[in-house]
Amino acid sequence: MIEIVSFLDGEVLGIVLLSFRVSLTAIALSCLLSLPLSLLLALKNFPGRRVIISIINSLLAVPAVAIGLVVYLFLTRRSPLGALGLLYSPWAMIIAQGLLAIPIITSLALAAFQSVSRQIRETAITLGASSHQFILTIFRESRYSLIAVLIMGFARVIGETGMTMMVGGNIKGSTRVMTTAIALETMKGNFELAITLGIILLAVSLLIGVPLQLLQGAGKR
């Protein structure tokens, strides 16, 4: 026990913080695209809407490792974006995790927005809501589902290993995150660090599960 605790030093803390920074940034950036898109898909009927929805649903099935490969190919030195020098940096991981999260968040947020009934939307309009007040109302009415969507997206990307390793490179002190560190330390037989990080990762997953359960309980009322 003392041994495990002693691992909670600068290195472990750095790894944990980086994991959070990368995954939270990835989720925040994908929301910038996903939430307006899902709102548009939920509220407007326009030509091509169904096609976009089917594409998003198909993208849900794309394996993370394929996203990792695509991002790798785009960021490698000889590629058009190679000059940016992003490969093996935290930004490469953010881009890959963000791309992984976009279809998940879009698809789940679409369902959340659609669960706000037509009657609720018309109630807001007849009571005199302007366009942006209307959108705020939609967000407020779907808040429980939306927070659940964000938590699910976050849990999915923070637990991603292979893809993150491909584009991040698992460089100590620079791109080593919890999952890649656990994979590496386990292979090296360095179980103490692997177990410490494993416990932290598990704790994170369980802890974000708690508000999720509470929210779903609250939403059912």
Question: Interface with other proteins by CB under 8 A: which residues?
Answer: 117, 119-120, 122-130, 133, 137, 140-141, 221
Least Cβ distance, residue 215 to other proteins (angstroms): 12
Least Cβ distance, residue 131 to other proteins (angstroms): 8
Residues 6+ positions from 142 with CB-CB distance below 8 Å: 112, 113, 115, 116
Least Cβ distance, residue 123 to other proteins (angstroms): 6
Question: What burial class does residue 51 get, using C-beta atoms within 10 Å of its C-beta: 0-12 exposed, 13-18 middle, 19+ buried?
Answer: exposed
Residue type, 114: Q
Q: Do residues 180 and 22 lie in contact, with contact meaning Cβ atoms separated by under 8 Å?
A: no
d(CA 124, CA 187): 57
Q: Which is nearer to other proteins, 130 or 205 (CB)?
A: 130
Q: Which is nearer to other proteins, 6 or 130 (CB)?
A: 130
Sign, CA torsion 131/137/142/146: positive
Least Cβ distance, residue 84 to other proteins (angstroms): 45
